Structure 1
Amino acid sequence: MRRLACSLLLSSLVLLPLVSPVNAWAETVFRRGIGSAPGTIDPGKADLHPESIVIYDLYEGLLTAGPEGKPIAGAAASWEISPDGKTYTFSLRPDGRWSDGSKVTASDFVYAWRRLASPQQASPYAYYVWPIVNGREVTAGTKAPTELGVEAVGDLMFRVKLTEPAAYFLGQVAHQSMSPVKEGATPGQVGNGAYKLAEMVPQTHLKLVKNPYFRDAANVKIDTVMHIVTENVDTELKRYRAGELDVTYTLPVTAVTWARQEVAAEYMPTPTYSTFFMALNLTHEPWKSSPKLRQALSMAIDREVIVEKVLQGDLRAAYSFTPPGKVAGYEPPRPSWAMQPQIARDALAKRLLMEAGYGLGGKPLPPVEILLTQSENNKRTMVAVAAMWKQKLGVETVMNNQEFRVVSSIGNQKTYKDALFYGWIGDFADPINFLKLLRSDVDQQNYPAYMNKEYDALLDKANASLDPADRIALLGKAEAMMLEDTALIPIFHNTRRRLVNPRITGWTKAPLDQNPTRFLGIKG
């Protein structure tokens, strides 16, 4: 993705004061840390969390993320699902408007979803259209985008036909990638959300102002949003303490204890529907042909030490890809060895390493290169993993630190040498949002390049089921299979640790880590 670079004029970030009783209240400005610079604000191309924060302010899908992060009615006032679960009919709001004042119609969604499916778009979320009639064929280029099973029935009715029932479909509909896009307009420049883009200073900030044409503009309390880029977490904390930010994107590990003790009213730890994991590149040897080697490396990682000692608590050790406790009825499986104490895991890891032909008496394993972002928190985690591998298995490592967007791009292309350390936060609360990434036919976001047709078939069977209990059981069976294969190495389920100024109202601990600005306010 493109790298943006420029300097920041801090004076533009200061809240305007109350000038006089005659002028009433001054403009309200919300200064929000978003971490890394967005590579794009095109909803059909974005796939990074900082990008999504901006896009949810600029766009509103048929459904949208509500104050608690759960999907609520958005551009669609209502919808109906056919008894067989294959046809969805959305009734658009008659007062929906683009930020240029023109009317939002069903044709805008037809255009956007066909665009998302088009191979020319190369969207990382193109697979979101696969449940739709001809969705797979369109993304594969064997059918034209016009054959996608979507249609406009007049201006205000949008109909979608699926090849089979998909219990998770409404969750996908609320995702940023399925936002409408106005044909002929530059994505990001014209949106239908609560805000519109006023200024974008590369590598520095995006200034959004209230969209007067937004259908619910009367209830939008904040006038201006400054989405502020700060790559370095220590620098971001300094900016917050200097009054330049109202909300941080995250916190450095070294500041967590201080935040708990000194600014408890501002410390906002939020357990998220997310997992940080290591992917081993299964297109390369020795990873491709040695599941025992992959298992040995996974078993030797003491996740409890990483969570409690290295990262200072709040987080949860991960033994599954899907996070536990977020989806009713689904308890993620664990690999069988996860039930043993760490000392037993270490002994088993040594044995598996030898059985794989490495370690004592075997051939030497070349140093494992780990690709990771330049985040200090991520560095600490991988340094701890490297120390465990060295101490327990004699495995050497090499760190390859890159910018967030570079790591994402390399991961999507599978061009990293050995291992990738990455995180995934759910786009909607359903196990399929994680498990689908590891399908053989998912290209970009299948980070380890896992290929297992039996796993794919279980997901297909689960998605076709109209019985919720049967579907959950099939998803659990698929995840258990993937974990036994060690398709990837889960490390921890994340808790977003940030500071929120108490004058910001409406902020919630949303599991999907989205707090759209339209639901927030500022005291005083």
Structure 2
Amino acid sequence: MKKVFTFSAAAIIAVLGSAAQAAELPAGLTWQSNMEEPLFASPDAKFGGTLRTHITSFPQTLRSVGPDSNAGLRHYFMDGVPKLAARHPNTGKWIPQLAKEWAFGEDHQTVFFKLDPKARWSDGEKVTADDYLFMLKYYRSKDIISPWYNDFFTNKIEDVVKFDDYTIAVKSVDKKTDDELMVQINLPSNGLQPRPEHFFKPKKDENNDGIDDDFVRRYNFKSEPTTGPYYMDKVKKGKSVTFKHVGEQWWGYSNRYYQNRYNVKKVRYTVIRDNDIARKHFEKGSLDTFGLVLPNLWHEKSNTKPYQKGYIHKFWGYNQRVQGAGGIWMNTAQPLLDDRNIRAGVTYATDFDGMINNVLRGDYARKPHGMGFGHGGYDRSDNLPPAFDPELAAEFFVKAGFGKVGPDGIRLNANGERLSFAITYGYQPHTPRIAYLKEQAKQAGLEITLNLVDGSSAFKYVLEKKHELAFINMGGGEIPAYWEYLHSVNAKPQTNNHNNYRSAEMDELIDSYNKEFDLQKKQAISHQIQKIVADEFLIVPGYMVPYTREGYWRWMKYPTPAMTKQTAGMFSVVDLATFWIDEDEKKATLAAMKKGKAFEPVTVIDDNFKL
């Protein structure tokens, strides 16, 4: 599938000089498609049925960008829908999605794409090059109130050029290797996705950028068309959200890698705020699956009658996914936390290892660094998480002026101010974990209070920089992203700079990192950035969970082998979605339950990708 020619970088630059020019595709491109990689779905899959699952809080918006969009259902609007290309989940090679083929320019900045002419929006409109041109205007518009996208599509993406209705080129601002270019263009959560220009018709556009001046409010609860297999069908505010499959005629099924995936007709997310109540609904058969990652769920609460009688099965599957930044983030703009000694003290007073062993049954693993794990040469080889050391923590607190200890064991400074910080978190089952940290921190004279904020509201609270300490794990890509977390430009509300961190030295390193072409030099800068994060005690490295554990009714089916290296959740339609519902098995199971018939209990362990 490769045609080999040669052409000059000058020719590319001339072509990409302006999107307004009539562009002519250069001859001599080497087109790639990688259509012969192994399949990972099952030909036995059946189409049909409704997946019944739950969410703990109703989303504050249905937008995929702008305020509050990072929480809630954005994964279903953006992260899980097709990009131009994607990594094969096992081999790691790039495989087609919205693009059928791609080719690299000699300038190390440009990638050419031939779009799949069969691609359609969920409302039936064609996906064309114009949707990518509009995408650039959309993401650069100040009206979407999304600094990350404004920056990325201005300072990372120089241009998108149309050659014909189904051929485009994307030019990066900085030179990168071919693989880095594809990563930047096809980021799982933030990659280049077309936007449906026919859907966005601004009523008021004073700055003439094609986006409604009142975009955030106008589209807060409007569902836009998607290129993925599922579109939003029904919304019952505060109660449920239902997605419906476009149907077996979905354009993606012409791509061999999409065949036998996304097999359910509908997905219904019911809001159940309490997970214990959700678990009871699941065990009664009102939900089809339920996550069992939490140790107490897997080890203790999944031995009830539906499991014993074989109606519900258990699955534990390992993966090799990149682990994103996370742990306890310290808001350096809050009083006291702007002091490195205080942050160091908090770090050494935080007993994550004890939490893992005593609360989490040793099931989880500790992250070596606050910025994540699994980035290959980008990670420092000597990254080690700080061990719990209350005596060392106390020494740092004394340096910060907290030399006295009050009658309750909590340290005081000369003004009588208590050494106390609140940890904000958004998931009630995490309470025992935070409570353990609270008790251990007392050994260093530190008081930790628990600030549980419901679901998506917790992330909003942190985005608005109201927190002191935040217990958050972020997603991550194979190349570490530092600008969004650490650059001074991003130290403001509605950004992922959860530390509110400002440093001219860090800014310079991040800018150099983003522009560096040489891989070894780029990785060396990454090491410097990670060292500063550790030396400044910005994030207490948390834990990582390199697997999925789930309970499911026996009518839920999946391929053999079940897991790929990149499988995050076995029964998620925004992941690889290789599962299906066997309606005949469902009828037989329900009939057996009525008669009191039992089956053999089933626990499946897939450890093919256990590290």
Distance (Å, rounded) in 1 between the aligned partners of 2:395 and 2:563: 47
What are the superposed Cα offsets for residues 238-268 of structure 1, whole Å, 9 maximum, x if unpaired? 2222222223256554323126878695233
How far apart are residue 500 of structure 1 and its match? 4.1
Q: Residues 211 and 183 (structure 1 numbering): CA distance in 2 closer, same or farther, change over 3 Å?
A: same
Greater CA radius of gyration, 1 or 2? 2
- Residues 488-507 of structure 1: pairs in structure 2 closer than 5 A: 488-495=539-546, 497-501=548-552, 503-506=556-559
Asked if 2 retains the 8 angstrom alpha-carbon contact of 1:253 and 1:377, the reply is no
* 2:82 equivalent to 1:60: yes
- Aligned residue number for residue 309 of structure 1: 358
How far apart are residue 490 of structure 1 and its match? 2.0
* 2:587 equivalent to 1:521: no
Residue of structure 1 aligned with 2:469, choices 399, 413, 419: 419
- Aligned residue number for residue 236 of structure 1: 278
Asked if 2 retains the 8 angstrom alpha-carbon contact of 1:268 and 1:497, the reply is yes
Amino acid across the alignment from 2:489? D
Distance (Å, rounded) in 2 between the aligned partners of 1:374 and 1:353: 28
- Aligned residue number for residue 386 of structure 1: 438
Residue of structure 2 aligned with 1:437, choices 485, 488, 491: 485
Residue 486 of structure 1: SS of its match in structure 2? coil
Residue of structure 2 aligned with 1:192, choices 227, 230, 241: 227
- Aligned residue number for residue 353 of structure 1: 397
Q: In proportion to residue count, which structure has more helix? A: 1
Distance (Å, rounded) in 1 between the aligned partners of 2:95 and 2:392: 48
What are the superposed Cα offsets for residues 128-156 of structure 1, whole Å, 9 maximum, x if unpaired? 325435xxxxxxxxxxxxxx622332211
Residue 222 of structure 1: SS of its match in structure 2? coil
Residue 381 of structure 1: SS of its match in structure 2? helix
Q: Residues 53 and 230 (structure 1 numbering): CA distance in 2 closer, same or farther, change over 3 Å?
A: farther
Q: CA RMSD in A?
A: 3.2
* 2:342 equivalent to 1:293: yes
Amino acid across the alignment from 1:357? G
Asked if 2 retains the 8 angstrom alpha-carbon contact of 1:203 and 1:229, the reply is yes
Number of aligned residues:
476
- Aligned residue number for residue 96 of structure 1: 119
Structure 1: any 5+ residue segments left out of the alignment?
Answer: 1-24, 134-147
Residue 130 of structure 2: SS of its match in structure 1? helix
How far apart are residue 366 of structure 1 and its match? 3.0
Residue 357 of structure 1: SS of its match in structure 2? coil
- Aligned residue number for residue 128 of structure 1: 152
Residue 239 of structure 1: SS of its match in structure 2? helix
- Residues 116-515 of structure 1: pairs in structure 2 closer than 5 A: 116-123=139-146, 125-126=148-149, 127-133=151-157, 149-166=159-176, 168-172=180-184, 173-177=186-190, 178-185=192-199, 188-212=223-247, 214-217=250-253, 219=259, 220-249=262-291, 251-258=293-300, 266-268=314-316, 273-288=323-338, 290-324=339-373, 326-332=374-380, 338=386, 342=388, 345-360=389-404, 362-363=413-414, 364-366=416-418, 368-390=420-442, 392-416=443-467, 418-426=468-476, 428-432=477-481, 436-442=484-490, 443=492, 444-495=495-546, 497-501=548-552, 503-506=556-559, 508=563, 511=566, 513=568, 515=572
What are the superposed Cα offsets for residues 392-432 of structure 1, whole Å, 9 maximum, x if unpaired? 2222233222122222122112123x222222122x22222
Q: Residues 169 and 410 (structure 1 numbering): CA distance in 2 closer, same or farther, change over 3 Å?
A: farther
Asked if 1 retains the 8 angstrom alpha-carbon contact of 2:423 and 2:469, the reply is yes
Q: TM-score, normalised by structure 2?
A: 0.70
* 2:49 equivalent to 1:28: yes
Asked if 2 retains the 8 angstrom alpha-carbon contact of 1:458 and 1:478, the reply is yes
- Aligned residue number for residue 59 of structure 2: 38
Asked if 2 retains the 8 angstrom alpha-carbon contact of 1:58 and 1:194, the reply is no
What are the superposed Cα offsets for residues 306-348 of structure 1, whole Å, 9 maximum, x if unpaired? 1121223321123412333x2333444667783xx64xx3221
Residue 149 of structure 1: SS of its match in structure 2? strand
Distance (Å, rounded) in 1 between the aligned partners of 2:359 and 2:457: 25
Amino acid across the alignment from 1:40? T
Q: Residues 495 and 231 (structure 1 numbering): CA distance in 2 closer, same or farther, change over 3 Å?
A: farther
Bigger drift between 217-226 and 309-318 goes to 217-226
* 2:135 equivalent to 1:112: yes
Distance (Å, rounded) in 1 between the aligned partners of 2:535 and 2:105: 38
- Percent identity at matched positions? 17
Q: Residues 314 and 98 (structure 1 numbering): CA distance in 2 closer, same or farther, change over 3 Å?
A: same
Q: Residues 234 and 279 (structure 1 numbering): CA distance in 2 closer, same or farther, change over 3 Å?
A: same
Distance (Å, rounded) in 2 between the aligned partners of 1:206 and 1:368: 40
Distance (Å, rounded) in 2 between the aligned partners of 1:39 and 1:124: 19
What are the superposed Cα offsets for residues 375-400 of structure 1, whole Å, 9 maximum, x if unpaired? 2232222212221222x222223322
How far apart are residue 200 of structure 1 and its match? 1.6
Bigger drift between 208-217 and 447-456 goes to 208-217
Bigger drift between 326-335 and 234-243 goes to 326-335
What are the superposed Cα offsets for residues 164-193 of structure 1, whole Å, 9 maximum, x if unpaired? 124644334243444222124266342111
Asked if 1 retains the 8 angstrom alpha-carbon contact of 2:63 and 2:69, the reply is no
